[in-house]
């Protein structure tokens, strides 16, 4: 007599534990099942299987059923979920809910209604065929038509009930080190890497505007798009295509594309890897898609390229420490950028409202369209000033968030107060200023920046200088810092995870001496 098995199931809920269930049939890990939890039915995923769940058997409920039309979750998908849940301090149920939202699961359930309808129709056709066998005057052509229709329905049912259990394709070679491509013109390098890859390719962009632009530039036929604009039904269709294997697929997408069920992933490209839009702040899981893409490539033994015209200091540090391989092409400062020192202009009375005379002259010399990016300025106050200074000119006014979703080719873009777009108390302020310039300058004809801290935006800060400053003060990438907000506390609780590096001994002691009551010092477990 075989030993009874119990199944620990991942539910799309924020649970610090995973409930146990039992079933009369043997089920593999990754199989999706219907279970009841707190008097509601959910579609869960079998995570662990054991003959001894370690809890009273009276607390274990029975699995309600197995949705026939739903494909299994691969071990590689679950490994990615486990990493995100562990590293970003959330539950695996929250990650499952992000990877398979309710609408997507409902779209996968739709074929069940189709299966029931086809079965009903098949029963009627078979009954008609049986009844026609006893008739002497039954027409042969009608009987043949019914037989053909019966076979068509059987084929359709077979396709709907197919369950993908194909193992993940193992690459014949070990993947190379992650590559940091530091270049303004990255498309040719991307194209060469894609052509030299046998498996599927995932190309991530920070937003759908960047993804559309990159897809147009690379001009890859029969590519697949996956971002927040895609419906749940379309997401299911893409998932089915990737599970089938065989044909190679090129997927362009935003961070949500990480959770697609790849079976033969050969290359991951993360374009503009430094962009903050790769970070999901709300809801949980609060993850960074760039870092998760590194783990995804490691799980599938796929190559990965991080591309950027202004890489993050973390990635540059990883290159210098030997974790990444650096390819630096044309990483020089982009032309067509003017930085205006607002403090100096105010001292010599060179301002008219929030616009400097230098900016006014730049706009008057520009023959094309002009856009102002405002920060603290109110549009109802800025619009009359622009109309009076530039009569007859069409001046667009928008926020930085709106500017991120706009293509400014051939347009003069002016940031009226760049300092307001970067938190002054953020140790990454200088880095983010450089990255803001890189992002906008790549999308516009000319960029003009008004600021009281010109060195933050004019390219005069060097990477070595910024990294040395981080090292001296014990900031990432030399430490890992977690900021935790506790309910009932006025100030955030900051936790520093110090890396085990003898060269940082003096900095560690300095942090410990200057630490206040809301700071915790610990050693980085990694």
**pLDDT-derived band of residue 126, with 50, 70 and 90 as boundaries?**
confident
Q: What is the pLDDT of residue 172?
A: 44
Of the candidates 263, 11, 238, the one whose C-alpha atom is nearest the C-alpha of residue 107 is 238
Q: What is the pLDDT of residue 342?
A: 93
Q: What is the pLDDT of residue 146?
A: 80
Identify the DSSP state of 279.
B
- Over the stretch 425-462, which tens digit does the pLDDT of each residue have? 788 899 999 888 888 887 788 999 999 999 999 888 88
Q: What is the pLDDT of residue 22?
A: 93
Q: What are phi and psi of 106, to 5 degrees?
A: -60, -40
- Over the stretch 391-407, which tens digit does the pLDDT of each residue have? 988 899 999 888 887 87
Tokens representing 32 are 């999706």
- Over the stretch 180-195, which tens digit does the pLDDT of each residue have? 999 888 899 999 999 9
Q: What is the pLDDT of residue 1?
A: 46
- Nearest-5° angle of CA 201, CA 239, CA 172? 40
- Over the stretch 292-346, which tens digit does the pLDDT of each residue have? 999 999 999 999 999 998 899 999 999 999 999 999 876 655 667 899 999 999 9
Instruction: For the beta carbon of residue 307, count every other beta carbon within 10 angstroms.
Output: 25
Order of all β-strands in the sheet with 444-451: 337-341, 444-451, 408-415, 370-373, 395-398
115 or 294: whose pLDDT is higher?
294
* Prior bond of 382 cis (ω within 30°): no
Instruction: For the beta carbon of residue 278, count every other beta carbon within 10 angstroms.
Output: 23
Q: Is residue 313 within 8 Å of residue 427, measured between CB atoms? A: no
* 408-415 and 444-451 strand pairing: parallel
**pLDDT-derived band of residue 47, with 50, 70 and 90 as boundaries?**
very high
- Nearest-5° angle of CA 185, CA 187, CA 189? 95
Q: How far apart are CA 405 and CA 443, in angstroms?
A: 10
pLDDT exceeds 70 at position 160: no
Q: Give the residues across from 387 on adjacent strands.
A: none
% of the chain beyond a pLDDT of 70 = 83
- Over the stretch 354-388, which tens digit does the pLDDT of each residue have? 999 999 999 999 998 999 999 888 889 899 999 99
Q: What is the mean pLDDT of residues 106-118?
A: 66
Q: How far apart are CA 24 and CA 510, in angstroms?
A: 62
170 or 362: whose pLDDT is higher?
362
pLDDT exceeds 70 at position 164: no
Identify the DSSP state of 65.
B
Among the residue ranges 133-147, 342-356, 463-477, 504-518, the one predicted with the least confidence is 504-518
- Over the stretch 252-265, which tens digit does the pLDDT of each residue have? 999 999 999 999 99
**pLDDT-derived band of residue 205, with 50, 70 and 90 as boundaries?**
very high
Q: What is the pLDDT of residue 438?
A: 83
**pLDDT-derived band of residue 424, with 50, 70 and 90 as boundaries?**
confident
pLDDT exceeds 60 at position 105: yes
Q: What is the mean pLDDT of residues 237-258?
A: 88
Among the residue ranges 22-36, 170-184, 405-419, 467-481, the one predicted with the least confidence is 170-184
Q: What is the pLDDT of residue 496?
A: 58
Instruction: For the beta carbon of residue 178, count every other beta carbon within 10 angstroms.
Output: 22
% of the chain beyond a pLDDT of 90 = 45
Half-sphere exposure of 397 (CA within 13 A, CB side): 16
Half-sphere exposure of 401 (CA within 13 A, CB side): 0
Query: Whole-number mean pLDDT of the chain?
Result: 84
Q: Is residue 262 within 8 Å of residue 300, measured between CB atoms? A: yes
pLDDT exceeds 80 at position 118: no
Q: What are phi and psi of 240, to 5 degrees?
A: -65, -40
Of the candidates 155, 158, 136, 137, the one whose C-alpha atom is nearest the C-alpha of residue 147 is 155
Among the residue ranges 37-51, 120-134, 234-248, 349-363, the one predicted with the least confidence is 120-134
């Amino acid at each position: 007599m075989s030993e009874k098995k119990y199944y620990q199931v991942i539910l799309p809920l924020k649970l610090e534990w995973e409930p146990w269930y039992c079933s009369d049939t043997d089920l593999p890990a990754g199989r999706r099942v219907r279970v009841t939890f707190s008097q509601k039915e959910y579609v869960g995923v079998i995570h662990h299987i054991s003959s001894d769940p370690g809890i009273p058997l009276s607390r274990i409920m029975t699995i309600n059923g197995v949705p026939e039309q739903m494909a299994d979750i691969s071990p590689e998908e679950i490994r990615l979920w486990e990493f995100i849940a562990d590293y970003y301090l959330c539950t695996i149920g929250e990650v499952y809910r992000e990877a398979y939202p309710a609408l997507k699961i409902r779209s996968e359930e739709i074929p069940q209604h189709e299966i029931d309808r086809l079965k009903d129709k098949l029963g009627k056709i078979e009954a008609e065929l049986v009844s026609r066998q006893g008739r002497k005057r039954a027409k042969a052509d009608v009987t043949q038509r019914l037989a053909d229709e019966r076979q068509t329905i059987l084929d359709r049912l077979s396709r709907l009930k197919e369950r993908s259990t194909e193992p993940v394709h193992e690459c014949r070679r070990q993947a190379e080190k992650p590559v940091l491509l530091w270049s303004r013109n990255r498309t040719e390098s991307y194209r060469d890497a894609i052509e030299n890859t046998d498996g599927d390719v995932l190309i991530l962009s920070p937003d759908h505007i960047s993804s559309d632009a990159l897809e147009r530039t690379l001009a890859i036929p029969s590519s697949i798009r996956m971002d927040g604009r895609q419906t749940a039904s379309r997401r299911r269709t893409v998932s089915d295509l990737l599970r089938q294997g065989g044909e190679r697929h090129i997927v362009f997408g935003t961070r949500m594309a990480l959770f697609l069920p790849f079976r033969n992933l050969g290359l991951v490209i993360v374009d503009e890897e430094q962009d903050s839009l790769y970070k999901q702040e709300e809801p949980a899981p609060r993850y960074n898609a760039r870092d998760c893409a590194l783990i995804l490539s490691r799980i599938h033994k796929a190559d990965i390229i991080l591309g950027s015209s202004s890489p993050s200091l973390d990635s540059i540090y990883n290159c210098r420490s030997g974790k990444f391989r650096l390819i630096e092409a044309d990483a020089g400062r982009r032309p067509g950028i003017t930085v205006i020192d607002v403090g100096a202009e105010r001292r010599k009375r060179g301002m008219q409202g929030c616009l400097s005379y230098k900016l006014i002259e730049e706009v008057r010399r520009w023959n094309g369209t002009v856009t102002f990016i405002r920060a603290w300025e109110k549009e109802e106050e800025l619009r009359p000033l622009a109309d009076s200074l530039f009569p007859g000119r069409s001046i667009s006014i928008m926020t930085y968030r709106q500017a991120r979703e706009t293509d400014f080719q051939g347009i003069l873009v002016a940031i009226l107060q760049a300092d307001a777009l970067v938190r002054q108390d953020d140790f990454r302020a200088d880095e983010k200023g450089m990255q803001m310039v890189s992002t906008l300058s790549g999308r516009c004809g000319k960029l003009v920046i008004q600021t009281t801290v010109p060195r933050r935006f004019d390219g005069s800060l060097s990477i070595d200088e910024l990294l040395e400053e981080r090292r001296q003060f014990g900031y990432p990438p030399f430490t890992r810092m977690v900021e935790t907000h506790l309910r009932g506390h006025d100030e955030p609780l900051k936790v520093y995870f110090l890396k085990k590096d003898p060269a940082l001994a003096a900095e560690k002691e300095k942090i410990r001496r200057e630490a206040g009551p809301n700071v915790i010092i610990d050693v980085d477990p990694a």
